[in-house]
Every structure is written in structure tokens, then in C-alpha cells.
Amino acid sequence: MNTVSGKRAARMGARQIYETLRDQIVEQVYGVDGLLPSSRALAGELGVSRTTVTVAYEQLAAEGFIETRHGARPRVARTVVERGRPRGVSKPSARNRRLSNFGERLRRNPPRWTEPPGDLVANFRYGDLSPSDFPVLAWKKAVVATLSRRPVRLAYDDPCGSLRLRTALQGYLWRSRSVRCDVDQIVVVNGSQQGLDICARMLLDAGDRFVMEDPGYLMAKHAFSATGAVAVPVAVDRDGLETEQLATIEARLAYVTPSHQYPLGGVLPIGRRHQLLAWARRFDAYVIEDDYDSEYRYDTKPVPPLHALEGSGNVVYLGTISKTLSPTLRIGYLVVPPGMQSAFGAAKQIMDRHSPQVGQEALATILESGAYERHVRRVRRRNAERRQALLDALRRRFGGKVRIDGADAGLHVVVWFDDLPQGCEEALIRLARSKGVGVYPVSVLFDRRRQGRRPRPEVVGLVMGFAALEAGQIERGCKLLAQAVDEVGHRRIR
């Protein structure tokens, strides 16, 4: 029988909130006073409706984890605080059904997904793109052409992807990224996330170690951690991963973003690149090179990926169209070391047979015609304008009070507010949201366990994505953000 029904969570958001809070309560995150945020405050913080939070709170109350009183913030039930885990809760994941180890790991540490709030003046969430940039006509034409071309039979395709698309990608990679590979090394996947997941499954076992940039890309860490492998965080500085720290680290793989470190924006210098590749050869480890936004370089020349260097036989290269066309199309590609395609193809086949055919053929069409590269040049210009609008607005609103990282390339910058200590982060984000501005902390991208020479950031830092916004929204958003920063600063002084 299902246990958490009764009042069923209205949607995924409510359940995730419920589970997160329940685990936090059981782990006594809320201390002795045990006050939880008000439903309004939590809804604002998470960017969900207040109803969603209320459903989660009602479920927690129904199960005896919290006490609610009208008009007051909910409080952890005394019995829970005193007795530790309530009866029947044998694991943090509580009274749910038995899952595999993989399932339990995901239940303990689920990736987050929240629907983007629709009513904001400016949402600086990274990863989103503007629909006005999408080449609707060209894509529509390519899709219709594909659907009109009647094949001999409708049958499962090659697990590694459409031969036509792989051939087109091979040329594109060589022209645009100096990546010389064979069609037999390319595996088409459903966005870079599936590429990461295939690498995780094919290369990592429970207990293995993998190197993560710190701070780094959370969804990669989620995919690798879900195997039961353990992240070894290695610091990044303005030049990307501090590869000299690798010398003593034995691990199965390293996940890196050498062209534009996510989130801090460093470009890995050639010396560090060689150091990284030498490390991989020494430990027979793999390097997963996520080239997620290499199409966007503004003031500097493009840097050839690791994959283009000598001695890169251990590198798995990962590309995506989520930053150039749309994250909703779910198309990406792996370039695997020679001889490994059949193993990766076998994984792809048991995972989902192959990627959907129409999208692959449409992409092949616009790659072959040159329309894709023309499109990339166009959106590069547009995003250069958005970036300039953001840098200008930040300068105008904050002057010397902010430091900006990673503005040379990509679709986001990191903005450090040197006058605001880390403790203000939550208040700033909540206040900004109440003014209609969505901003997101860089702090969550840091590994909590790292005992490095540098601590987690001491001041508030925000990852500000700009690719979904027009110049006016960027300007208005920065103005409102400046008001929020002021208010938080004043509160602190009082």
C-alpha cells in the first residue's frame, strides 16, 4: 500500500519539498527552536506556488513531523526533536517502497527541478534560452522534409544514432572545434545529460572516485554520484581546474569544462591541459570533457578542446545543441575514444534503443546546408549584445561593488557582491524574487566537504544567465536587484 497518499501531493514540487523537509527534520537540521519558514517565504524562495508548499506542510503535519498553527510559522513536532527518528521511519527516505541502491541514492539526494515562475520581470536562470532566437522556420522546414521522406520501413535505427547526423557532426566538429574524429566514435544522445549518464554507467562503480571541479556542474555530479561513486572535489581558480592537485588523487574519471569552466568561467591553460591528460594516462582514468557552450566566445579566440590535443586517448568529448538551438530538443553527442563506440552503443541500446529519429534528421539537414553555422553566428551576436547589456547594467547599478567572473564566453556570468557576506544570500534571493527578479546562488555549486585552502565563498555570489532575456529586461532586472541589494545591506547595518 502506498503510504504518503491521504492528501496526495498536488505535483512533483510538493513531494520533493515534503521529502526534503522531512529528511531535514529527521536529521535535525532545524535545531531546537524548530521553526520552519512560512509557506509564503518558502514558496518565494523555491519559486513555486504557495499552494505547493502548503500541500507539503499539510502532509508533514498529517504524519506528525510538524505542528501548524494558523498565522504562525510551522514548528517541528516536539516528539520528533526529542526522540530523533519517529517510529516507522527506518531510513531518511522513510516509509516509501523498497528501491535499488541506485533508487535509494536518488531518493536521498534527488536532483532539483522547479517549474520556472511565469510572472517575473527578469529571470536570470542559467540554461534557459529565448524563443525569439530559435530558428523556427529553418527547423520547421527540416522537420517537414524529414517527415515527408518516406523510408522503406519504420524500424529501430542504429543505437549510435543516424549515420547521416553523425557524418554531419564529424564535419562540424572538425570545422568548428578542430576535433578530428571518426563517425565510428560518435554516439548521439538525448542531450548532454544522457551523455553524462552513459559515461557514469559505463565507467563508474559504487565506491569508485571521480574528480569534480569545485565549484562545478551539479547535474554531472548527480549522474556520477547516482552510481555510488564518490566525488573528489578539486578547486578551480581563474584558470579552471587546479590540475597540480591531481598528482596524489587516484580516480576513475575527471569531469571538466576546460573551454569555459562552469560556473566560474576560467579557460584551462595549455600547461594544465597537458597535466590533466598525463594524470589520466597515469591512472588509466577517463576525462569527460563537457564542451557545453564553446560556441559563445566574445573577446577571445576559441580554444581547441582537450580532445584535439596529442595524448587525449582517454578523453570522452561531450557536445550539445541545448545552448545553440534549444534545451527542449534533447540532442547531444559523445565522441568516445576509438574502439569504444560499440560498448557505448550497447549501453544506449538497452537504455532507449536510439534517440528519436526526426530530430536527428532535422539537425543533420541544417548542419549539411550550413544553416546551423549561420544560426550559431547569429545567436552569438545576439548573446554578445545581451552580455554587454548585462555588464553595462551591472556597472551602472553596482560600480565597483561587484566583481564579475567568466564574462569572456558563454551565456552566464558570476557576480560577487563583496559587501554582502554569505549569510545574506538567502535573504537577497528571496527579496529579489519578491521584486520580480529570479537570481540563483553560486554557493550551491560548491562541494560542502572540500577541505581545500580556499573556503566556500565568503560573500554572496550569483550565477546570472542572460540568454533568455532581452536588453530591457536585463536593465530592469539589474535595477530591481540593486534595490534588493541595498535593502539587504541596510538591514545588515541596522
**Which of residues 194, 243, 261, 324 is near its own copies by CB under 8 A?**
194
For 175-233, what is the HEC assignment? HHHCCCCCHHHEEEECHHHHHHHHHHHHHCCCCCEEEEEECCCHHHHHHHHCCCCEEEE
C-alpha cell at 454: 580556499
Residue list 318-337, contact with its own copies (CB under 8 A): 326-331, 337
Q: Which stretch binds its own copies (CB under 8 A): 22-30, 118-126, 385-393, 444-452?
A: 118-126
- Burial label for 167, CB within 10 Å (0-12, 13-18, 19+), is middle
472 binds its own copies (CB under 8 A): no
Least Å distance between CB 5 and its own copies? Answer: 5
Return the number of the residue (108 or 492) whose C-beta is nearest its own copies.
Answer: 108
Return the number of the residue (78 or 95) whose C-beta is nearest its own copies.
Answer: 95
Return the number of the residue (151 or 472) whose C-beta is nearest its own copies.
Answer: 151
Q: Which stretch binds its own copies (CB under 8 A): 75-83, 125-133, 300-308, 486-494?
A: 125-133
Q: Which stretch binds its own copies (CB under 8 A): 60-68, 171-179, 183-191, 425-433?
A: 183-191
**Which of residues 203, 251, 315, 431 is near its own copies by CB under 8 A?**
203
98 binds its own copies (CB under 8 A): yes
Residue list 222-281, contact with its own copies (CB under 8 A): 222-223, 226-227
Return the number of the residue (267 or 325) whose C-beta is nearest its own copies.
Answer: 325
Separation in Å, CA 205 to CA 86, 144, 202, 313, 469: 33, 43, 9, 21, 41
Q: What's the rounded Cα separation, in Å, for the pair 9 and 18?
A: 9
Return the number of the residue (26 or 55) whose C-beta is nearest its own copies.
Answer: 55
SS3 call for 111? coil
- N- to C-terminal Cα separation, the chain: 54
Report angle CA 362, 366, 369 to the nearest 5 degrees.
Answer: 135
Residue list 58-87, contact with its own copies (CB under 8 A): none
Q: Which stretch binds its own copies (CB under 8 A): 42-50, 82-90, 126-134, 374-382?
A: 126-134
Q: Which stretch binds its own copies (CB under 8 A): 12-20, 232-240, 381-389, 452-460?
A: 12-20
**Which of residues 319, 345, 406, 457 is near its own copies by CB under 8 A?**
345
Helix or strand (DSSP H, E) at 412: strand 412-421
Separation in Å, CA 293 to CA 2, 83, 310, 387: 43, 50, 23, 14
Pure H helices in 322-422 = 341-352, 357-368, 371-398
Return the number of the residue (1 or 493) whose C-beta is nearest its own copies.
Answer: 1
Return the number of the residue (19 or 290) whose C-beta is nearest its own copies.
Answer: 19
Q: What's the rounded Cα separation, in Å, for the pair 210 and 114?
A: 28
- Tell me the sheet residues that pair with 122: 437
Return the number of the residue (15 or 177) whose C-beta is nearest its own copies.
Answer: 15
Least Å distance between CB 345 and its own copies? Answer: 6
Return the number of the residue (52 or 482) whose C-beta is nearest its own copies.
Answer: 52
- Burial label for 43, CB within 10 Å (0-12, 13-18, 19+), is buried
Instruction: State the CB neighbour count (10 A cutoff) for residue 157.
Output: 18
Residue list 393-422, contact with its own copies (CB under 8 A): none
Helix or strand (DSSP H, E) at 465: strand 459-465
Q: Which stretch binds its own copies (CB under 8 A): 37-45, 216-224, 380-388, 420-428?
A: 216-224
Q: What's the rounded Cα separation, in Å, for the pair 484 and 486?
A: 5
Query: What is the pattern of x (binds its own copies, CB under 8 A) and - over residues 144-173?
Result: x--xx-xxxxxxxxxxx-------------
- Tell me the sheet residues that pair with 289: 256, 317
Q: Is residue 106 within 8 Å of 227, Cβ to Cβ?
A: no
Residue list 348-387, contact with its own copies (CB under 8 A): 349-359
Least Å distance between CB 87 and its own copies? Answer: 19
Residue list 275-294, contact with its own copies (CB under 8 A): 284
